[in-house]
Structure 1
Amino acid sequence: MSSIDSIIAIERFSEAHIEGITALYNDPAVARQVLQMPFQSTEVWRKRLAPDNERVVQLVALHQGQVIGNIGLEQISRIRRSHCANIGMGVAQAWQGQGLGSRLLATVLDLADNWMNVQRVELTVYADNQAAIGLYRKFGFETEGLLRQYAVRDGALVDTLAMARLRHGPKAD
């Protein structure tokens, strides 16, 4: 067990975490690296919590009861894409580079692989976010394409990478 494992708890996102999630994504350093809008209300997060859908898993990482990270996994509901899921995550700036992202990602990939039978996990990441890209590659994600001028950040249109991890690798012809 690594040192981070002994001081960090991972729990399912619940009503008790709404204030912490709101604060996490309202931090300008975090909002800058994800597709969430800054200055969101707690009501926005309460609505995201509301659906009781086993295809959606939202987890939080806690240090001494404070939300320091979040990851979401959403299995696609369309029948022909039900083998796929999307992920999105955010880690508090003070905890970046300390293994928290790895722990969150490993947790949802275990759920995807061993409980949900997901074969393909997809994500988008800003093309200049080398730390996140490195993390995703460490877990087997590969770049599938460049999405030009995908999102607004700091008043400019910026590129993202489309990445995916195939559980059983590409199918041979």
Structure 2
Amino acid sequence: MTLILRRARPSDAAAVAEHLAEPDIFPGLLQLPYANAELWQQRLSTPPVAGSPELFLLAERDGKLLGSAGLHPVGAQVRRRHAMALGISVSTAAQGQGIGGALMTALLDYADNWAQVLRVELTVYQDNARAIRLYERHGFEHEGRLRAYALRDGVYVDALTMARLHPRQPLVRS
């Protein structure tokens, strides 16, 4: 019953698509209904650009996918290389069991100690109180509101922008 966090593999495509297709999961993300396993197969089979610090993790217990989380470059601009975007999802049945916290801890450890990331940023729907509390517990701060950000179930909804700066920027040892 141990929680395992690991990098996603191409063979995980069907499980990722099934996870993201959960009726209570996809509306909270920028996903669409009817997740496509073939599309995820292609995405997971395409290696990141050489030198990219991109990371996509899965959380599983007893071989069942319970959550996913990733750090993704925010763009190709040289002046934004220090920033990454964070995305996370936890299966409805596994919420409140520490899965989100474990994924966040792993991603932020990677960002802070290995990937030279100064800024981790995200957007979250303004009514997703559980996710907002998770982000705040991990040091994310509110930066703004994006009005009518995305269409969700036929209604345009607002999103919040949040970000976290590296808590202890790396030093140079002499």
TM-score over 0.5 (shorter chain): yes
Q: Deviations over 1:15-58 (max 9, x none)?
A: 22111101101111011111111102111111221331242211
Structure 2 residue 116 is matched with structure 1 residue 117: yes
Once residues 75 and 40 of structure 1 are traced to their aligned partners in structure 2, the CA distance between those partners, rounded to angstroms, is 23
Partner SS, residue 109 of structure 2: helix
Structure 2 residue 13 is matched with structure 1 residue 18: yes
Once residues 56 and 108 of structure 1 are traced to their aligned partners in structure 2, the CA distance between those partners, rounded to angstroms, is 10
Q: Is the 8 A contact 2:10 2:45 kept in 1?
A: no
Partner SS, residue 87 of structure 1: strand
Give unmatched runs, 5+ long, in structure 2: 169-174
1:168 to partner: Cα distance:
4.2
1:19-168 equivalences in 2 (<5 Å)? 19-53=14-48, 54-76=52-74, 77-168=76-167
AA of the residue aligned to 1:52: P
Once residues 79 and 100 of structure 2 are traced to their aligned partners in structure 1, the CA distance between those partners, rounded to angstroms, is 30
Q: Is the 8 A contact 1:29 1:93 kept in 2?
A: yes
Partner SS, residue 40 of structure 1: coil
Aligned length: 164
When normalised by structure 2's length, the TM-score is: 0.90
Q: Is the 8 A contact 1:60 1:67 kept in 2?
A: yes
AA of the residue aligned to 1:59: L
Once residues 165 and 149 of structure 1 are traced to their aligned partners in structure 2, the CA distance between those partners, rounded to angstroms, is 24
Using the TM superposition, name which of 83-92 and 54-63 deviates more.
Answer: 54-63
Q: Deviations over 1:117-171 (max 9, x none)?
A: 10100000000000000000000000100000001112100000000001148xx
Q: Is the 8 A contact 1:151 1:157 kept in 2?
A: yes
Q: Is the 8 A contact 1:91 1:100 kept in 2?
A: yes
1:82 to partner: Cα distance:
0.6
Partner SS, residue 145 of structure 1: strand
Once residues 75 and 149 of structure 1 are traced to their aligned partners in structure 2, the CA distance between those partners, rounded to angstroms, is 24
Deviating beyond 6 angstroms after TM superposition, the runs of 4 or more aligned structure 1 residues are none
Q: Is the 8 A contact 1:17 1:67 kept in 2?
A: no
Partner SS, residue 132 of structure 2: helix
